[in-house]
Amino acid sequence: MKILAVDDDPIILDLLRELLSLIGHTNIVTAESAIEALEVIENSTDPIDCFLFDIQMPVMDGIQLVTNVRSIGRYQHTPILMITAMSDKHYIDRAFFAGATDYVNKPFDIKELSNRINTIEELLIGRRGYTDNLFSATGDSKSSSSVNRPTFSEPLFVNDVDGVIGFTPMQNYLKQLSRLSLFGCSAFAFTLQDAQRLYDNSTEFDFTCAITDVSEAISETLKPNFFLMSHAGGGNFACVSDSHGLLNLEEIQSNVNDRLTDMDTYFSDGRPMYLTVTLGQPIRLNFKSGNNVSTVLRQACINAENTNPSTTITKKEPSGLLGMLGVM
């Protein structure tokens, strides 16, 4: 696995190189600035498998570097591990929103770093079987192989939609908030109605387009509030937010569905594609060490699945986006 480590402190780079070699990784390239890192990436003849970025660097910080790397087609989904002294939630939010995969605070130890790198390696191995078949709605392929097609329950990558990250980064984001005892967030989910039937009766391209369209509708509805969202498999979209707004549950669900109607979506063969979502009751995330964030996200999805599309959702008194989502 080829790793690019970027930090403006050469001592940290030497330490990273030493620690990585102890856990079996010797193909390490380093850069002392984001600008130098972009030059290394541009001139690299073989692809980089993993990035390790500091945040506080001159000229261009590590979060801006994440944004730049994600704009490069071959690196849209390459793991990016932030290694930084910045523990304020603002930095964590920005890093994951930009496309970070995981986040480690300095000072770090070899066990923690080893665990994160091993997880990234497993993630890479799991992707290699079907990476070439993953594409966004802007892809030009409209055929799919039933052998290589992701299963219905498998989370999909959604490209180029604000606030949308992978499901693994979403889990890592919540784990990082838990480690630092940063409270106040809530998880909630949307469910695409009849998603299984849509999957069964569409190509991989069409289903991916549908997932992307729903993601766009949710993203546009939740703006300008801060949120992170990921496709959680099937017809589920898991969200986390702690921002303020003036929307309630009924309005959010209605606005997303209005946007989906306005999109006027179709299958590749010309059939109209009717997309409708339900929004489940949110779950307040009062973290304690060892909490299983996967369970929280799963419960949020279950709440959305159990919401009756024809049920009118009780309005709450205005108290910000989370309060209006029903989190009191």
Dump pLDDT digits (tens) for 243-261. 644 458 889 999 999 999 9
- What is the DSSP track for 228-244? EEEE-STTEEEEEE---
Residue entry with tokens 């990585």: 20
Q: Name the phi and psi angles at 272, rounded to 5.
A: -70, 145
Taking residues 104-130, report their average pLDDT. 81
How much helix, strand and coil, in percent to the nearest 5, is found in the chain? Answer: 40, 15, 45
Helices 110-127 and 10-22, packing angle to 10 deg:
70
Distance CA 278, CA 250 (A): 10
Global pTM value: 0.85
Domains of the chain, by residue range, sit at 1-128, 136-328
**Domain 1-128 falls under CATH 3.30.70.260:** no
The H-or-E segment that residue 123 falls in is helix 110-127
Q: Which has the minimum average pLDDT: 42-56, 131-145, 258-272?
A: 131-145
Taking residues 297-309, report their average pLDDT. 92
Quick check: do 1-128 and 136-328 share a fold?
no
Q: Name the phi and psi angles at 61, rounded to 5.
A: -85, 175
Q: Kindly report the average pLDDT of the chain as a whole number.
A: 86
**Domain 136-328 falls under CATH 3.30.70.270:** yes
According to the model, what pLDDT value does residue 231 have?
A: 98
* Tokens standing for residue 257: 């569905």
Q: Which of the four pLDDT bands, split at 50, 70 and 90, describes residue 291?
A: low
Residue entry with tokens 């995330």: 285
Taking residues 6-13, report their average pLDDT. 96
- CB atoms closer than 10 angstroms to residue 118: 12
- Using only C-alpha atoms, the chain has a radius of gyration, in whole angstroms, of 20
pLDDT(314) > 60: no
